[in-house]
C-alpha cells in the first residue's frame, strides 16, 4: 500500500476496469496505482488500445472502476453519490479532449464561462474570468467567434481555457494534440509549458512525443498496466550542441 | 600555394576543443566567398546562426581556424590600418579556398543515422537472453525524451523567425523520428515476447 503524501492532488490505488464477461472479458485497466503531486505534469504514453484513455476516465470519475479507489484532493470519488461526484468534477477537474468538445452554438467566450456558471459563479464574475482566460491563451480577439469559425488549434486553446475556468485542482487531457497540425501543436506546447510554470497539476494521456516531453514524469502503459516510469525533470541530456551535430 | 584542383584534406587537422573543426573551417571559408571579412564579423555571423548552441564557439576558435586556413593557403590575410586602434587583419579566399567552398557546397554526404547499432543491440540482447529488449527500449526512450524536452524548450524560447530556431527545430524533428522508431521497436519486441 502506498501512503498518500500530503502534497498529493490525485491518488489512485489498485484501479481496475473490466468490460464484458467470460470469454469476452476485457481487462482495460489492471491494478494501476498512481500518485500525482501538486504542480506535477505527468504523461501517460502507450500504444492505441493500451487502456490509457480508460484510465483517464477512471481518474476523472467519468467511469466507475471495477475495483480500486481514486482520491482527488483527499476525497474518495467512489464513496460519493453521483450528484456529489458531478459537483466535484465540475469544480476540481478540468477536461481537455482530442476532439475539443466545444458547444457549437456558443461563442468562444460563452464556452469558457460555462463551467463557472454551472458551478454557481455570478454571470459577471464568470464573464470576467472567461475573458481573462481567453487572453491568456492568446484568443482575446476571437471571443465572439463560434467554434466553427476557429481553426483546430484555436478550438483546442478555447477548450484549455474552459478547463481552467474553475481553477481546477487537476487538468486531465486526452490526446490534446491528436487532431492538430504541427504549428498548432507548437502553440499548444507553449501553452502546456506556461500552465506547468504556473503550477497547474496536469495528467495527460498522449502518443505525441512532443507533449510527452513537457512532462516531469512519464509513465508507459501496455495492456492496461504500468510497465515503466521515467523521471524527465532534472534529467541530464547530451548537450544541445552535441544533439545538433556541432560536437564530435 | 596549393595547385588548383588538388583536394585539400582538412579533416586531418586536429579537432578544435568541443567543436568539429571541419564544420567551422568549411563555414568560415564559405562566409569569405563573397567578400573579405574580419574575424569578429565571421564570429558574429556564426553566433547568430547558432543562437543558444553557439555558446562554446568563441572568437578564439575563429582566429585559430583562420590561422590554420592561412597556413594551408586557403585564405590570405591583409593588415588594415585602423586610426587609433591596433591593426586588424582582413581575410580573403585564395583560389584554392574558393575551390574548396565549391566542393563543400556540392557534397551531399549526411551525418550517419543512428538505428543500426541500437537495432543490433536489441537483436543481440534478445538472442542471448541478456536483457529484455522492451526494457532497453523504455530506457532509451527516457533518454531521448529528456533530450527532446531540452531541445523543445530551447526552440520555444527562440523568437519567431529566428534562424537559430530552425537549427533547434531540426534537433526536435530528428529526436521525434527516433522516438517514433523506438515505438515500432517496442511493438515488435513486445509481440515477440508473446
Model pLDDT for residues B126-162, shown as the tens digit of each residue? 998 888 999 899 889 999 999 999 999 999 999 988 9
B170: contact with A, CB 8 A cutoff: yes
pLDDT at B13: 43
Locate the DSSP E strands across chain A: 8-19, 26-37, 41-45, 67-72, 75-76, 93-96, 170-174, 201-205, 217-222, 225-231
Q: Looking at this predicted complex, what is its ipTM?
A: 0.84
Q: Residue B190 and residue B133: Cα distance in Å, rounded?
A: 8
Mean pLDDT score, B4-23: 49
A181: contact with B, CB 8 A cutoff: no
Q: Is the pLDDT of residue B12 over 70?
A: no
C-alpha cell at A201: 497539476
B10-106, CATH topology level = Arc Repressor Mutant, subunit A (1.10.10)
Bridge partner residues of A43 (DSSP): A204, A218
Instruction: Give φ, ψ of A156 to 5 degrees.
Output: -70, -35
Of B19, B55, B138, the CB nearest to A220: B138
A230: contact with B, CB 8 A cutoff: yes
Q: Which of residues 50-109 of B touch A (CB under 8 A)?
A: 50, 52-53, 55-57
Nearest CA in chain B to A221: B138
A8-232, CATH topology level = Rossmann fold (3.40.50)
pLDDT above 70 as % of chain A: 97
B188: contact with A, CB 8 A cutoff: no
From residue A99, give the alpha-carbon distance in Å to each of A106, A144, A173: 16, 21, 11
Q: Average pLDDT, whole number, for chain B?
A: 84
B24: contact with A, CB 8 A cutoff: no
Q: Is the pLDDT of residue B4 over 60?
A: no
Higher-confidence residue: B112 or B38?
B38
Which letter does DSSP use for residue B34 in this model? T
A227: contact with B, CB 8 A cutoff: yes
> Where is average pLDDT lowest: A35-44, A59-68, B8-17?
B8-17
Q: What share of chain B is helix, strand, coil (3-state, %, to 5)?
A: 65, 10, 25
A207: contact with B, CB 8 A cutoff: yes
Chain A with chain B: Cβ pairs closer than 8 A? 96
B177: contact with A, CB 8 A cutoff: no
Banded pLDDT at B6 (limits 50, 70, 90): very low
Q: Is the pLDDT of residue B102 over 50?
A: yes
Mean pLDDT score, A41-63: 92
CA angle A47, A52, A56 (to 5 degrees): 160
pLDDT at A107: 97
pLDDT at B129: 87
Q: Is the pLDDT of residue A2 over 50?
A: no
pLDDT at B9: 44
Q: How long is chain A?
A: 248
pLDDT at A245: 81
Q: CB A243 to CB B147 under 8 A? A: yes
Q: Is the pLDDT of residue B1 over 50?
A: no
Task: Provide the 10 A C-beta neighbour count for residue A103.
Answer: 12
Q: How long is chain B?
A: 194
Nearest-neighbour CA in chain B from A89: distance (Å): 31
Of A220, A236, A248, the CB nearest to B20: A248
Of B55, B111, B147, the CB nearest to A237: B147
A204 contacts in chain B (CB < 8 Å):
none
Higher-confidence residue: B5 or B173?
B173
A211: contact with B, CB 8 A cutoff: no
A167: contact with B, CB 8 A cutoff: no
Instruction: Give φ, ψ of B178 to 5 degrees.
Output: -65, -40
Nearest CA in chain A to B114: A243
Q: CB A235 to CB B187 under 8 A? A: no
Q: Which residue matches cell numbers 563543400?
A: B104
Banded pLDDT at A105 (limits 50, 70, 90): very high
A228 contacts in chain B (CB < 8 Å):
135, 138, 142
> Where is average pLDDT lowest: A120-134, A169-183, B4-18, B92-106?
B4-18
Q: Residue B152 and residue B146: Cα distance in Å, rounded?
A: 10
Amino acid at each position: 500500500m502506498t501512503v498518500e503524501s500530503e502534497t498529493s492532488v490525485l491518488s489512485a490505488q489498485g484501479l481496475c476496469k473490466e468490460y464484458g464477461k467470460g470469454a469476452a472479458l476485457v481487462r482495460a485497466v489492471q491494478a494501476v496505482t498512481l500518485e500525482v503531486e501538486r504542480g506535477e505534469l505527468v504523461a501517460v504514453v502507450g500504444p492505441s488500445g493500451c487502456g490509457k484513455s480508460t484510465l483517464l476516465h477512471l481518474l476523472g470519475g467519468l467511469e466507475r472502476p471495477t475495483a480500486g479507489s481514486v482520491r482527488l484532493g483527499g476525497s474518495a470519488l467512489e464513496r460519493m453519490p453521483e450528484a456529489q461526484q458531478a459537483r466535484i468534477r465540475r469544480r476540481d477537474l478540468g477536461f481537455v479532449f482530442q476532439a475539443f468538445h466545444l458547444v457549437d452554438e456558443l461563442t468562444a467566450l460563452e464556452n469558457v464561462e460555462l463551467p463557472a456558471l454551472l458551478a454557481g459563479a455570478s454571470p459577471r464574475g464568470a464573464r470576467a474570468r472567461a475573458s481573462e482566460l481567453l487572453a491568456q491563451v492568446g484568443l482575446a480577439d476571437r471571443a465572439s467567434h463560434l467554434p466553427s469559425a476557429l481553426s483546430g488549434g484555436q478550438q483546442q486553446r478555447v477548450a484549455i481555457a474552459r478547463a481552467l475556468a474553475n481553477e481546477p485542482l487537476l487538468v486531465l487531457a486526452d490526446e490534446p494534440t491528436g487532431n492538430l497540425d504541427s504549428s498548432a501543436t507548437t502553440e499548444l506546447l507553449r501553452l502546456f509549458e506556461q500552465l506547468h510554470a504556473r503550477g497547474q497539476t496536469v495528467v495527460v494521456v498522449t502518443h505525441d512525443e512532443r507533449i510527452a516531453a513537457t512532462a516531469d514524469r512519464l509513465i508507459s502503459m501496455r495492456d492496461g498496466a504500468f510497465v515503466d516510469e521515467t523521471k524527465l525533470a532534472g534529467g541530464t541530456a547530451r548537450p544541445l550542441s552535441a544533439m545538433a551535430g556541432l560536437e564530435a | 600555394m596549393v595547385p588548383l584542383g588538388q583536394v585539400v584534406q582538412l579533416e586531418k587537422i586536429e579537432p578544435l576543443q568541443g567543436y568539429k573543426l571541419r564544420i567551422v573551417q568549411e563555414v568560415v571559408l564559405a562566409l569569405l566567398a563573397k567578400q573579405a571579412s574580419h574575424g569578429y564579423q565571421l564570429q558574429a555571423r556564426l553566433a547568430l546562426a547558432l543562437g543558444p548552441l553557439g555558446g562554446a564557439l568563441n572568437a578564439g576558435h575563429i582566429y585559430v581556424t583562420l590561422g590554420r586556413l592561412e597556413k594551408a593557403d586557403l585564405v590570405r590575410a591583409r593588415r588594415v590600418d585602423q586610426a587609433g586602434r591596433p591593426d586588424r587583419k582582413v581575410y580573403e579566399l585564395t583560389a584554392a579556398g574558393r575551390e574548396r567552398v565549391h566542393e563543400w557546397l556540392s557534397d551531399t554526404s549526411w551525418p550517419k543515422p543512428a538505428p543500426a547499432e541500437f537495432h543490433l543491440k536489441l537483436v543481440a540482447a534478445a538472442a542471448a537472453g541478456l536483457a529484455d529488449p522492451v526494457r532497453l527500449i523504455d530506457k532509451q526512450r527516457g533518454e531521448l525524451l529528456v533530450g527532446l524536452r531540452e531541445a523543445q524548450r530551447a526552440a520555444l524560447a527562440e523568437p519567431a523567425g529566428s534562424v537559430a530556431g530552425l537549427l533547434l527545430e531540426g534537433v526536435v524533428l530528428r529526436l521525434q523520428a527516433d522516438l517514433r522508431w523506438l515505438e515500432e521497436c517496442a511493438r515488435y519486441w513486445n509481440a515477440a515476447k508473446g
